[in-house]
Structure 1
Amino acid sequence: MKAARGSVVSKKGTPWGTIVAVVAVVALAASVIIYYMVQSAPKREQEDREAAAASFAPTTSDPDPSKRIPGVVTATYTGSVHVLPTERVAYDKTPPFGGPHDGYWAACTGVVYPNAVRTENMVHALEHGAVWIAYNPQQVTGDALNLLSVRVKGKPFTMMSPYPGLDKPISLQSWGHQLKLDDANDARIDEFIAALRTNPNGVYPEVGASCDALGPGQFDPDNPPAFDPSKPGPDAKPMDYKGTAGAQQEQGGMNQPSGAPSTGAPAPSATPTK
């Protein structure tokens, strides 16, 4: 009898089912935590980069902090000069960062475009205070591409697209400002964005303008007009162009009455500055 009772007690003393269940729950929780840490790492690292670049945010006493960023080049451009969706502009810079542009702006609400987008639409978004990250798709891939993307996805007044034939791996544009770089880890990327994205101190023409998608028939971010890699022809509009009759304006108006002749008269040209 004693032996039998001892045997029963020993069998009840080790709850293997409970142990296995607890181990499984702990393992699952650990895997969830590890997965979260891995997946959230790029976002957390980007938050650190943005914190480090916070000293480049514009203020009344430092209206254009990009002047403190080595390598930034600037030029002065006249805003609100529009062309038709069928017209091209003979831009003076590659990629351009100002000048005549399409009446419809590219959506710049943190959009990462997988394919190259028509330049004239992208330039219009710069006029609204956006920053455009362009990259050479033959030179920027894998981790470097992801590192650029995390700076853009979901960030208002920011957009990114490949730019075939770019002379540097990376080029950042805001209206009247450009910075070309070799490395996606370069801290100047975050400094440029902090200094110039929606900077309210007169560094871009249309403060308060929208970056929202206009939609099909105007500018559809899911089916944007394609980039044209060919050299602009003799009918391309020059940098001192005054705008095309019938080209769309910001609020649904027109540059000139429909059917009016295009003036083509010179406007102030871009003047490079240092």
Structure 2
Amino acid sequence: MANGTTRKKGSAVKAARGSVVTKKGTPWGTIIAVVAIVALAASVIIYYMVQSAPKREQAGREQAAASFAPTASDPDPSKRIPGVVTANYTGSVHVLPTERVAYDKTPPFGGPHDGYWATCTGTVYPNAVRTENMVHSLEHGAVWIAYNPQQVTGDALNLLKVRVQGKPFTMMSPYPGLDKPISLQSWGHQLKLDDANDPRIDEFIAALRSNPNGVYPEVGASCDALGPGQFDPDNPPPFDPSKPGPDAKPMDYKGTAGAQNEQGGMNQQPSSGAPAPSATPSK
């Protein structure tokens, strides 16, 4: 009897254990939740890597161009960049928002300009902007990347944008009719290029953006937005593709009385009188 009872108890214990195991089963809910978390984390990492790739690549380009940063012994490193064209221009010559200038270069990189500067705080303008405002920003130490919208699109356009977005004293806009795909301007300097991958873009920016060594007239001037009624970056004055008429101001213009000046007042000098020196290409 004892043996029989013992066998029955053993069978009951085994059955109970089997019942517990059966009830516990595989924790599919936990497994699915863990898999979902891992997949989400992986997707976030992949998204970050894809989205940050342009910035990381740009950081590499900037590091490669670091040797073109200006120093006291090398005040204008752009002189070492093949293809850079230079000219001498007189600064602080302002015209009214209703006036045009007959510029000597396309795009211009110096000369008379609107009394209100274009915002140049890493600004990417989707549409072409009035040239006279853009030139004023060059006087403040900005670099302007202009591009032909018929020739620069897609990945090439994104390559230019990443060099500008969030970068102080930098701006970018389409320039209809441009004779090259890309043209870089700083005050008195220009570089025209065919390829958005060209390392000279980063060298030009490194050499001339906010260069403190007197390569542009108004060191320390602002690039900040002026706002509605002056220059609104969200609604900037549009580019005029037509040829300047006979009333356009010449490159040796002295400035319009009543035009905005850098101190927030108006120009007092008359528009007549001895002309300012003409822009002449550097040798």
> What TM-score results when the alignment is normalised by the length of structure 1?
0.96
After TM superposition, give the deviation of residue 85 of structure 1 in Å. 0.5
Q: CA deviation at 1:14?
A: 2.6
Deviation string 1:13-67 (CA, Å, 9 cap, x unpaired) is 5322211111111011000100111111111111111111111000001000000
Whether the 8 Å contact between 1:241 and 1:264 is mirrored in structure 2 is no
- 1-side partners of 2:65 and 2:86: how far apart? 20
Distance in structure 2 (CA, Å) of the matches to 1:224 and 1:265: 33
- Is the 1:128–1:210 contact (alpha carbons within 8 Å) kept by the matching residues of 2? yes
Shift of 1:9: 1.6
> How big is the alpha-carbon RMSD for the aligned residues of Structure 1 and Structure 2?
1.2
- Equivalent pairs, count: 270
- Structure 1 residue ranges without an equivalent (≥5): none
Mapped partners of 1:165, 1:224: distance in 2: 20
Alpha-carbon shift at residue 11 of structure 1 (Å): 4.8
Alpha carbons 2:253, 2:271 under 8 Å: kept: no
Runs of 4+ in 1 over 4 A off after TM superposition: none
Question: Following TM superposition, by how much is the alpha carbon of 1:4 offset from its aligned partner in structure 2, in angstroms?
Answer: 5.2
Do structure 1's residue 242 and structure 2's residue 254 form an aligned pair? yes
Deviation at 1:141, TM superposition (A): 0.5
Structure 2 distance, partners of 1:264, 1:167, is 35
Alignment deviations for residues 140-161 of structure 1 (CA, whole Å, 9 cap, x no partner)? 0111111100110111000000
Equivalent position SS for 1:152? coil
Aligned residues of 2:95 and 2:114 also touching (Cα < 8 A): yes
1:17 partner SS? helix
The alignment partner of 1:75 has SS state of: strand
Q: 2:277 aligned with 1:265, yes or no?
A: no
The Cα of 1:265 is off from its aligned counterpart by 3.4
Larger CA Rg, structure 1 vs 2: 2
- Offset at 1:267? 1.0
State whether residues 243 and 264 of structure 1, in contact with CA within 8 Å, keep that contact through their aligned partners in structure 2: no
Deviation at 1:255, TM superposition (A): 1.8
Contact 1:132 1:159 in 2 (8 A): yes
2:133 corresponds in structure 1 to 121
In the aligned structure 2, how far is the partner of 1:17 from the partner of 1:220?
Answer: 55
- State the TM-score, normalizing by the size of structure 2: 0.93
Contact 1:135 1:163 in 2 (8 A): yes
Residue 200 of structure 1 corresponds to 212
Which runs of no fewer than 5 residues in structure 2 stay unpaired?
A: 1-12
Cα shift readout 1:133-177 (whole Å, capped 9, x = no counterpart): 000000001111111001101110000000000000000000000
- Find 2:149's aligned residue among 137, 140, 153: 137
Residue 143 of structure 2 contacts residue 184 of structure 2 at CA under 8 Å; is this kept in 1?
yes
